[in-house]
Amino acid sequence: MMDKKVIKLLNEQINKELYSAYLYLDFSNFLASKGLDGFENWYKIQAQEERDHAMLFYQYLLNNNVEVELGAIEKPVREYKDVMGVLKAGLKHEEYVTSLIHTIYDAAQKAKDFRTLQFLDWFVKEQGEEETNANDLITKMELFGSDPKGLYMLNNELKARAYSAPSLVL
């Protein structure tokens, strides 16, 4: 039987990942309204990845004979006014998600739940990649975003991002 605190945190993470998907869908929605279809595409795919993350937590709990309890998903609040604001909000959110994953990791370690630790290893690595991607977007925007041609090229680069399923399979 899994530790109650670990179960609670894993269950809550489903909601946090679905909220991430919802938040990024609204980023995508905002960026579409600015005519930046590449940035729109990038965050739409990011939203798909977050849904995948939620499904991995969901499936992991089911695989361990735990019944999931789904909660309400918060409405995303727009705390930004421009593209750079979106990118910075994205980085801040990923740093927050990293802290959540680390909290679950810590609880699993205390409970000597080695199976959950192994499951979470993928997410620890994934969060490192998520933060790098968010940081890279900010750097590129700083370098090229103020020049219309630079922004056009960057938008085209982001339009090429294609969805790929997570490498973790349960």
Binding region for ligand FEO (CB under 6 A): 17, 20, 50, 53, 94, 97, 130
Cα distance between residue 26 and residue 108, in whole Å: 33
Distance CA 170, CA 168 (A): 7
Q: State the nearest-atom distance from the C-beta of 143 to ligand FEO, in Å.
A: 23
Other Cβ atoms less than 10 A from the Cβ of 2: the count is 16
User: Minimal distance in Å, beta carbon 26 to ligand FEO?
Assistant: 15
Nearest approach, Cβ of residue 112 and ligand FEO (Å)? 25
- Determine if residue 35 is left, alpha or beta; phi over 0 gives left, psi from -120 to 50 gives alpha, anything else beta: left
Between 138 and 153, name the residue whose CB sits nearer to ligand FEO. 138
